[in-house]
Amino acid sequence: MARRGKKKGRPVNGWLILDKPAGMGSTEAVSKVKWLFKAEKAGHAGTLDPLASGMLPIALGDATKTVPFVMDGAKVYRFTVAWGEERSTDDLEGPVVESSDRRPGEEEVRGLLPRYTGIIMQTPPQFSAIKINGERAYDLARGGETVEIAAREIEIGRLDLLEFTPDRAVFEVECGKGTYVRSLARDMGRDLGCFGHIAELRRTEVYPFTPEQMVDLPPLEEAAEAAHAEEGDFAPLDDALLDVATALEGLPEIAVNDDAAARIRLGNPVIVRGRDAPVEAPEAWASARGRLVALGVVEAGMFKPKRVFAA
């Protein structure tokens, strides 16, 4: 029987809210952070295009178990649309495929915004990670194929016009999972009859994280260089991490004692106690001494664990 190799890296757990620089891909950013922290496991909660900057929540260790809760959270983007050209990628990267000398007026743009709020249908860009017959749409597009991507339902909480010039407009959008900001720029340009594409894109929030929690890459690199040189002093790096449970804001928290926590970690249900404790909850988390014990559900006054966390 083959022997399992030892895990590489430290068992570090928590969320790093990276301010990703433009020009770096999300996968590249995760790999970089994983190496800086010498972490066993890492992942991100929501791809951010290489040309975009801003908030990229990166989960280390046990935090990867809470990624779905962040993926489902609302996101806020600030973006600039350049009028007059539509591009194959709907941003600056691709060649021009349509152009127009027409430029919209400010009131014309403002009048369009209600059509892009609420529940709307949106067609993702040709250059996207959507799978078509098992292949990524961007791979097919790079191969010269024009693919048919079905429109899908998305939710836009708000869309505000922040700045306006005849050639460009700056917007801020709060949106739900699956929204493509590049598609917003493309579709608004088409509706206005002038075409448009993303000239600048920055993600400023991913619920439940806040802009104040973002960390720049250079200070992390400096701290990691010192940690690697001193062979193990990772405290300055680890101080940048948020607790794993930060991702669970908004879910019911079930506080339990040490005995109940031990039973939960063995996969057993426990009675939910407390005057304000929920009787039913499709998603909840149990904590002991302020630390995350398990994710689960509450049914008939019982917390039933689905995913447990090490003590």
Residues labelled catalytic? 49
Cα→Cα distances 149→48, 110, 128, 137, Å: 20, 28, 10, 8
Q: According to DSSP H, which parts of 135-273 are helical?
A: 137-142, 181-192, 217-229, 235-238, 258-265
Q: Are 190 and 182 in contact (CB under 8 A)?
A: no
Q: How far apart are CA 179 and CA 71, in angstroms?
A: 12
How wide is the angle at C-alpha 55 spanned by C-alphas 126 and 95, nearest 5°?
Answer: 30
Handedness of CA 262, 264, 267, 273 (dihedral sign): positive
Count other Cβ atoms within 10 Å, centred on residue 194. Answer: 21
Handedness of CA 151, 154, 158, 162 (dihedral sign): negative
Q: How far apart are CA 278 and CA 293, in angstroms?
A: 18
Coil, helix or strand at residue 27 = helix
Return the closest-CA partner of residue 74 out of 172, 170, 169, 150. Answer: 172
Return the closest-CA partner of residue 259 out of 298, 296, 278, 286. Answer: 286
Altogether, the residues listed in the chain come to a count of 311
